[in-house]
Amino acid sequence: MKKFAFILFFFISFLTKAGDFSINQVGFLIDAPKYFFINEPADSFFLRDVLGGKLVFKGAIELKVKNDPATGMDIYKGDFSGFDTPGKYYIVLANGKKSPTFEISDTVYNDLFNASLKSYYFQRCGIDLEGKYAGEYAHGKCHTKDANFHPLAGSGFKDVTGGWHDAGDYGKYVVNAGVTVGTLLMAYEFFPAKFLSDILNIPESSNGIPDILDEAIFEINWMLKMQREDGAVFTKVTKGKFEDFIMPDKDVKSGRLIYQISSTATADFAAILAKASRLISDYNKDLAKKYLNTAISAWQFLSNNPEIIPTGGFKNPVGTVTGEYGDNDDSDERAWAAAELFITTGDKEYLDYFTKYARKNNFHFKSISWSQLNDLAYFTILINSSKRNIPDEITDKIKAELLVYSEYLLAKSNKDGYGVTILPGEYRWGSNSDVLNNALILIIANEITGEKNFYNLALEQLNYILGANAHKISFVTGIGTDYVRNPHHRPSASDGIVEPVPGLLSGGPNQNLQDPVLQKLFNQNTPPALCFVDDTGSWSSNEIAINWNAPLVFVSGYFK
């Protein structure tokens, strides 16, 4: 009982620390739905201008849901969508409680976009992060001796320096690079006009190539080093065990190893290199050719080895305690590679391969993740359909299933107090990236169908990430008024700087409680969306990762 009271006290103080308002702390686009949530009844609310406190809008507060399934909370909503004058505002209740200040403008997500893309620069491995780009987060070269082979993968040394650190750890994993680079390239390919910025202040800025491509190329150049002569691709470069909480350039004690090849890594590689080849060809024909050749050699290896490698999917060798990214189904990765290779080459063999997979799976959409790439294949075929004369029969199927999936997301959101598109049971490790990947799907659905509901729902997902959630917190470091400050991120925790490295998305609530910090605070009875804590020790709810940031770049870049 005592323990319960303590937990309850902790809970309440924790949940109320950010104030009482669940609101997008960055703000709203001028024509977007605008709203906030509170957890107690109130009659009305007042929207006031920051300058002088002038009252600009008054609205009613309505009960949205009692005992919300994901949070156990009563949720009340105040809506001010009708107000559309750009400026900086806050909300006040009759009892005097004030919300954080937020902005209404058509450029409200610019800083968020820049920070979320720039975060990849801070993850770079094997180079000096120079003060002129990294500011106070500058540090020396790390992991310059990458790497010797794990005995199961080969012998001796191979240069695999470069690329990004995967997450809060310093490992580098090809599988996770797949979905990450895939999503960044997709943003540029689908909406080039929105992603042309070349002024992010990374070393390649102003080189005439959009920074989003430059950053992707930094990772791709590492991926190239991970390829074996026969086309197969090694799975990862990590230590035997996760590093201590030290800066990357201090991580020199024990060596890092290259692990075995896998068919998932090889297929992800083929997809990325094929996609990058066609996108970079406008800027650099030689590079485009080189990329395509490596993609084809990876595909060749896969064709000669139609069964999954290793059998059952990649597993960490006994004694290895770093990320696994194990996946026992490589069919979606292979289909994605085929789709990208077809669009780049026009070679019908690839289209046939993709179509066979898509038919077998009835063109169904699924939640996008490092292990689930089939939506990326569908999108590639759909967006490039006229370029390659894809038969209507195929594109119609993809469109129809995209619509079915988007309606399903809409139905889920209607059941949720905060309007999020995941339900109890789905708050898994990295749930915030699932929310943003759903926003990505909805953005494309809106582009294809013109259905404004999907556009608005995508924005609602971003609202959740930026503060319209039970924790009243922005899940992106440095963004909003009350954001995550203690991510499970080795540089942020060991650089001696109070502020975490900016632009990083926290994984978010994880009802599976997969770390000791969550296990101590919560149990199976905790409402799923509450299973989160802004604590460095909670790697299963508060880590950051390259794949989670990618849909944030996509979504914020689209709406900026």
Nearer to ligand 9MR, 236 or 560 (CB): 236
Rounded to the nearest whole angstrom, what is the least distance from the CB of residue 166 to ligand 9MR in the complex?
Answer: 5
Site string for ligand 9MR, 410-449 (x = CB under 6 A): -------------------xx-------------------
Report the site for ligand 9MR in 306-345 (rule: CB under 6 A): 323-325
Q: Which of 20, 146, 169, 401 is catalytic?
A: 169
167 binds Zn ion (CB under 5 A): no
What is the C-alpha to C-alpha distance for residues 47 and 464, in angstroms, rounded to an integer?
Answer: 20
For 279, residues 6+ apart whose C-beta sits below 8 A from its C-beta are: 185, 188, 189, 213
What is the C-alpha to C-alpha distance for residues 394 and 299, in angstroms, rounded to an integer?
Answer: 23
Contact partner at residue 248 from Zn ion, ligand 9MR, none, CB < 5 to 8 Å by partner kind: Zn ion
- Told to judge if 392 belongs to the known catalytic residues of this protein, a careful annotator would answer no
Rounded to the nearest whole angstrom, what is the least distance from the CB of residue 118 to Zn ion in the complex?
Answer: 18
Contact partner at residue 142 from Zn ion, ligand 9MR, none, CB < 5 to 8 Å by partner kind: Zn ion
Q: Which of 215, 488, 489, 535 is catalytic?
A: 488
Size of the site for ligand 9MR (CB under 6 A): 12
Nearer to ligand 9MR, 323 or 480 (CB): 323
Phi, psi of 429, deg, nearest 5? -50, 120
Tell me which stretch binds ligand 9MR (CB under 6 A): 24-32, 164-172, 337-345, 460-468. 164-172
Nearer to Zn ion, 77 or 143 (CB): 143
Tell me which stretch binds ligand 9MR (CB under 6 A): 179-187, 303-311, 438-446, 538-546. 538-546
Q: What are the residue ranges of helices labelled H in 248-328?
A: 263-280, 285-304
Nearer to ligand 9MR, 167 or 217 (CB): 167
Cα 421 to Cα 163, 387, 407, 460, 485, distances in angstroms: 32, 33, 11, 9, 25
Cα 224 to Cα 158, 210, 221, 294, distances in angstroms: 12, 21, 5, 8
Instruction: Report the DSSP pairing between strands 44-49 and 172-173.
Output: unpaired
What is the C-alpha to C-alpha distance for residues 216 and 220, in angstroms, rounded to an integer?
Answer: 6
Rounded to the nearest whole angstrom, what is the least distance from the CB of residue 547 to ligand 9MR in the complex?
Answer: 7
The structure tokens 């800025």 sit at 205
Nearer to Zn ion, 189 or 495 (CB): 495
- Told to judge if 106 belongs to the known catalytic residues of this protein, a careful annotator would answer no
Cα 39 to Cα 7, 55, 95, 101, distances in angstroms: 19, 23, 14, 19
Could you tell me which of 83, 75, 98 has the C-alpha nearest to residue 420? 75
251 binds ligand 9MR (CB under 6 A): no
73 binds ligand 9MR (CB under 6 A): no
Sign for the CA dihedral angle at 125, 128, 131, 137 comes to: positive
Site string for Zn ion, 219-248 (x = CB under 5 A): -----------------------------x
545 binds ligand 9MR (CB under 6 A): yes
Nearer to Zn ion, 249 or 407 (CB): 249
Q: Assign residue 537 a region: left if phi > 0, alpha if psi is -120 to 50, beta otherwise?
A: alpha
Nearer to Zn ion, 133 or 559 (CB): 133
Rounded to the nearest whole angstrom, what is the least distance from the CB of residue 142 to Zn ion in the complex?
Answer: 3
Nearer to ligand 9MR, 97 or 315 (CB): 315
Sheet holding 102-104, edge to edge: 27-28, 102-104, 87-93, 44-49, 55-65, 75-79, 35-38
Answer for which of 125, 226, 308, 550 binds Zn ion (CB under 5 A) is 125
Rounded to the nearest whole angstrom, what is the least distance from the CB of residue 170 to Zn ion in the complex?
Answer: 5
Burial class (CB in 10 A: 0-12, 13-18, 19+), 249: middle
Report the site for Zn ion in 130-149 (rule: CB under 5 A): 142-143
Phi, psi of 445, deg, nearest 5? -60, -40
489 binds Zn ion (CB under 5 A): no
Cα 1 to Cα 7, 8, 530, distances in angstroms: 10, 10, 21
Q: Which of 268, 375, 534, 535 is catalytic?
A: 534
- Told to judge if 352 belongs to the known catalytic residues of this protein, a careful annotator would answer no
3-state secondary structure 440-495: HHHHHHHHHHCCHHHHHHHHHHHHHHCCCCCCCCECECCCCCCECCCCECHHHHHC
Q: Which stretches of the chain bind ligand 9MR, using CB under 6 A?
A: 166-167, 169, 171, 323-325, 429-430, 539, 543, 545
The residues annotated as belonging to the active site are 169, 488, 534, 543
Q: Which stretches of the chain bind Zn ion, using CB under 5 A?
A: 125, 142-143, 248
